[in-house]
Amino acid sequence: MIGIDELDVKGRSVFVRSDLNVPLDGDNITDDGRIRASAPTIKKLVERGAKVIVGAHLGRPKGQPNPKYSLAPVARRLGEVLGQEVAFATDVVGESAQATVAGLKEGQVALLENLRFEPGEESKDDAVRGEFADKLASFAELYVGDGFGAVHRKHASVYDLPKRLPHAAGDLVRAEVEVLKRLTENPVRPYVVVLGGAKVSDKIGVIANLLGKVDRLLIGGGMAYTFLKAQGHEVGGSLLQEDQLDQVRGFLAEAAERGVEIVLPVDVVAATHFAADAPHEVVDATAIPADRQGLDIGPRTRELFAAKLADAKTVFWNGPMGVFEFDAFAGGTRAIAEALVKSDAFTVVGGGDSAAAVRRLGLPEDGFSHISTGGGASLEYLEGKKLPGLAALEE
């Protein structure tokens, strides 16, 4: 992949595919991490005299305009981060977009409305996607792929558009790929991976691929209960994927064969029901009462996991240890994050809920070596999958 420093952008229209998919509460952005991460590439192009057209998505509007998913609040925040006005097109390829793009001068920035308002963006039909990509291509002379959180999608703006224009990878995408290469090609050992989140099924591919690469695998979050059940323990009303039990037993056997240490919770915070104010108690992970459900790892597990991270030289963390959105069940996720902040290892937070948790808990982002902007993309890369958006940029 060539980078943007190799493009002659002065006076030229550059389409930048960013990932600005931020959480909103009404019109209020509750976490602007992706906007701040996307700004440096845009700013660099602006400083070099490009006319920058930014394309991005927000949520899942399913190919129809929906005010709930408008990028208007994002345009305002992006302007604040860049320190300059961002012109906002109220449609994607219609009259507003055409007029907004036509009015751009050197060093100015425009943001198109949500790309997913157009059915062609996510269409499974190559011809339909291609037709939409042609319309986007008519706006620009060059393409920069910088939306790492979307590179695992075969979407028009990610996969088809770079085939129609001279293209390069943005600085954010290049940085993400460099980090992932460090995790997959020759990681400094001991290499420890911490996986959490709700479902084992979301992480099957990455576990299967990592068993041949890591020294230690720490399992928390909702997915831990399927592992505990696979070992023969009762998990009460905790989240359980019974259809994954055989798969998990296979992982446990393979890990033992390969000498990979799998570390599971030894105690959990078990609640009467799923609610922020639910009565709860700490119980052994092997003795969860039938009328309780585990919503966080317990204090002994937090100490155990911190100890298992202490000697690590490389750490990848994806997925919270509990329901961190509820203060009563955020302690396990905080403990992992704090252990990584204290660590001298190369520490990578794998985007998604993990990155959101770091910011929600008020931990210093510079306390980690890298916080990814793309949870799904990071996981698919670690699974060994070919990501369409990266493949298109490499051509």
Q: 203 among the known binding-site residues?
A: yes
Beta bridge partners, 88, equal 111
Q: 19 among the known binding-site residues?
A: yes
Q: 189 among the known binding-site residues?
A: no
User: Cα separation of 319 and 334, whole Å?
Assistant: 12
Annotation marks residue 199 as catalytic:
yes
Task: List all residues 6 or more positions away from 28 whose beta carbon is below 8 Å from its beta carbon.
Answer: 73
Q: 319 among the known binding-site residues?
A: no
Active-site position among 55, 374, 376, 389: 376
Residue 262: enclosing H or E segment and its boundaries?
strand 261-263
Q: 366 among the known binding-site residues?
A: no
Residue type present at position 157: S
SS3 content of the chain, % helix, strand, coil (to 5): 45, 15, 40
Q: 66 among the known binding-site residues?
A: no
Q: 12 among the known binding-site residues?
A: no
Annotation marks residue 389 as catalytic:
no
CA 204 to centroid of chain Cα atoms: 17
Any idea what DSSP says for residue 243? G
Active-site position among 55, 196, 322, 352: 352
User: Cα separation of 251 and 223, whole Å?
Assistant: 13
Beta bridge partners, 283, equal 268
Q: 273 among the known binding-site residues?
A: no
Q: 352 among the known binding-site residues?
A: yes
Q: 277 among the known binding-site residues?
A: no
- Pick the closest to residue 372 from 319, 294, 306, 305 (CA basis): 319
**Cis, peptide link before residue 289, omega less than 30° from 0:** no
Annotation marks residue 79 as catalytic:
no
Active-site position among 154, 199, 249, 359: 199
Contact 61, 117 (CB under 8 A): yes
Q: 153 among the known binding-site residues?
A: yes
- Residue ranges of alpha helices (H) inside 267-315 are 299-309
DSSP state string for 10-75: TT-EEEEE------EETTEES--HHHHHHHHHHHHHHHTT-EEEEE---S--TTS--GGG-SHHHH
Active-site position among 12, 17, 33, 34: 34
User: Cα separation of 242 and 226, whole Å?
Assistant: 7
Q: 138 among the known binding-site residues?
A: no
User: Cα separation of 358 and 79, whole Å?
Assistant: 25
Residue type present at position 334: R
Residue labelled with tokens 């996510």: 122
Annotation marks residue 352 as catalytic:
yes
Q: 59 among the known binding-site residues?
A: yes
Q: 57 among the known binding-site residues?
A: yes
Q: 21 among the known binding-site residues?
A: yes
Q: 280 among the known binding-site residues?
A: no
Q: 34 among the known binding-site residues?
A: yes
Binding residues for (2R)-3-phosphoglycerate: 34, 116, 153
Binding residues for ATP: 203, 294, 325, 351-354
The residues assigned a catalytic role are 34, 199, 352, 376
Binding residues for substrate: 19-21, 34, 57-60, 116, 153
Binding residues: 19-21, 34, 57-60, 116, 153, 203, 294, 325, 351-354
